[in-house]
Every structure is written in C-alpha cells, then in structure tokens.
Amino acid sequence: MKHLIDIKNLTTDDINQILARAGEFEKGIRKSNHINAHVATMFFENSTRTKMSFEMAINKLNARKYDFCAQTSSLNKGEDLYDTINNLSAIGINAVILRDSSDTLIKELSEKKYYEPISFINAGSGIAAHPTQALLDFYTMKKHFFDLANRVIVIVGDIAHSRVARSNIELLKRTGAKIRCLAPEYFVGEKIEGVEYYTDLKIAFEEADIIMALRIQKERIQEHVNFEDYIKNYQITRENLPYAAFLMHPGPINRGIEIESEVLEMQNAKTILTQARNGVFIRMAILDMLLSAQGL
Ligand code: CP
C-alpha cells in the first residue's frame, strides 16, 4: 500500500491488516514511533472529526504534523496544486492527507511524479469516496457484530451526494451483509449493484441490525429540497427506530433533520461517538502502514 485513495484499491489483506493494527493501537499493544516522518494535512473543505482525528493519530505516532493553510499559501498567487505538493515533497513532506470537493483530484495527484516519494491519503473526495470513514465504520460494526454476513444494514438519507455511503457500500459488499438504501427519489442518485433500494421507512427498517443515517449535504445540493417532507417521512425518531438497532452517523449531524434530537440520548445512538473515537485508531493504522512502507 503506497496511498489510500479508495476502498476499491484495497485488498482483503490490506483491510484485515488495517483493522488488526487499529485494534492493537486501541488496546495499547502496538507502539509505533515515526519521529522521522513529516505529514501535511491539506483540507480544502471543512472538517472536524477527520482532521482532528488525523492530527491526533499523527501526534500519537510521534510523527511531525504540518497544517497547510490554503488561504495564506501561494495557491492564492496562482500556483498549481501539483507544483505546491511537489515543493512540499522537496521540503521533506512524506505524506499528504487531502480533502477536496473534486471526485478525482487526489487520484490524479497520486499518479504524478514527485521530488521524493510521497503518500496520499484521501480524507474525503467530492461525492466519490471517504475511505477512512468507511474503514472506521467497518471497524465499529465488526467490534459489535464480529461477522456482518447476512446482517441487515440500512443506509438512510442523502445517498446521492454521500461519499460516506459510496465507500461504505464498496466495503460492505465484500462482507455478505444485506445492504439497503432508504431515500426519497430526490436523494437516490445513481443506483449501485448489490444494493436494495427502498422508499418506505417502515419496510426498510424491518429486521434492521444497523441503521446508518447520512447528513443531508446542503452544500452540494443545487435543487430545492422539501425538508418538511424529508423530516415527515425519513427522520429517525423514537417511534420508528427499531428497539435493538445499532444507530450510526458519520457526523456532522443536522440535529432535528436526519435524526430527532432525543434519539441521540438513546442507548442505540451511543455508537455515534464510538465511531469518532475509532477514527483515531483506524487513521493511526493507515499512517503506520504507509509511513512504514516508506521506511520512516
Ligand atoms: N465524518 C466526517 O467526515 O466528519 P468531518 O466532516 O467533521 O470530518
């Protein structure tokens, strides 16, 4: 593994190794020291969980962290992003964690030549992929259920604009889980093979083991959305949440839209902060593997 761009580039062995290492970091039985590694975070879209947990992971691995600030950088003088990163490579940056609104930019950047080897880690690319989120979600689900084969997993909400949904589906398809997507027509987007689509919440939630709510991506939606209609038919409430279902959400949550506020106090929703916590261990594992592969 040289980069982490998309779940579809990972072998089953890569995924198992990431999960195993994350488990060792969580238990405190793996201690890695990457004192000679220099890692830059480049976030061109807002973030709380991904950015802070990557920063925590870098610190815990004893690597050096550099927060690239686009506003004060020479990108504002018209420098090309490839030239910027090539200069970071020459300065001594070994890995770049990138979040951007483009579906394809990180892949294109990772295929170019640099002054020194540099690893790219996708921290969210457009609506295409959010592989570290899918891996931390998978880690969280597996810790609870161990085997996801035949488990019913319902992904609810703005599937059309969700990189989280796309990466999770890519990963869950390998497990034998029964993947259901529940969304109104205006949030379905392009249908994905191997997924069952529902428009009726009651039917979709039947026998659900896991319900994964998605944020409505207001910043990516061009057309008018009838939020009242969405809340009436798709909001997760105390009444419609199955008693034993495990409730997940990648965050940030639009309280009172995707999920009724009171539901967040229920036992079912405790998972949501566990997802955020597990993000640190997964990101430590990924950085540990990529930096070790560079001999750092
Ligand atoms: N889940 C997620 O990507 O959250 P942030 O946008 O806060 O990083």
Each residue of 152-182: pLDDT tens digit? 999 999 999 999 999 999 999 999 999 999 9
Question: Is 132 close to ligand 1, i.e. is its CB under 6 Å away?
Answer: no
What pTM did the predictor assign? 0.97
Mean pLDDT for 73-90 is: 98
CA distance linking residue 11 with residue 264, whole number of Å: 35
In the structure encoding, which two tokens stand for residue 154, read together? Answer: 């319902």
| 40: Cβ contacts below 8 Å, ≥ 6 apart | 66, 67, 68, 88, 93, 95, 96, 97
pLDDT band for position 47 (cuts 50, 70, 90): very high
| Residue found under tokens 């990972």 | 10
What separation in Å is there between the alpha carbon of 53 and the centre of ligand 1?
10
Tell me what the pLDDT averaged over the chain comes to: 96
CA distance linking residue 15 with residue 30, whole number of Å: 17
Question: Is 48 close to ligand 1, i.e. is its CB under 6 Å away?
Answer: yes
Mean pLDDT for 59-64 is: 98
What separation in Å is there between the alpha carbon of 115 and the centre of ligand 1?
31
The confidence score (pLDDT) of residue 40 equals: 98
The confidence score (pLDDT) of residue 144 equals: 95
Question: Is 250 close to ligand 1, i.e. is its CB under 6 Å away?
Answer: yes
CB atoms < 10 A from the CB of 277, how many? 13
What separation in Å is there between the alpha carbon of 137 and the centre of ligand 1?
12
Using an 8 Å Cβ cutoff, are 213 and 241 in contact? no
State how far the alpha carbon of 198 is from the alpha carbons of 149, 156, 167, in Å: 20, 9, 19
Question: Is 252 close to ligand 1, i.e. is its CB under 6 Å away?
Answer: yes
In the structure encoding, which two tokens stand for residue 5, read together? Answer: 């761009």
Mean pLDDT for 51-75 is: 97
| 165: Cβ contacts below 8 Å, ≥ 6 apart | 155, 159, 181, 214
Mutate to test the pocket of ligand 1, among 50, 163, 258 (most ligand atoms within 8 A of CB): 50
pLDDT band for position 278 (cuts 50, 70, 90): very high
Mutate to test the pocket of ligand 1, among 42, 48, 97 (most ligand atoms within 8 A of CB): 48
For helices 271-293 and 49-60, angle between their N-to-C axes, nearest 10 degrees: 50
What separation in Å is there between the alpha carbon of 123 and the centre of ligand 1?
9
Ligand 1 nearest atom to the CA of residue 251, by list position: 1
The confidence score (pLDDT) of residue 199 equals: 97
The confidence score (pLDDT) of residue 185 equals: 93
State how far the alpha carbon of 131 is from the alpha carbons of 122, 164, 167, 168, 278, in Å: 7, 8, 6, 8, 14
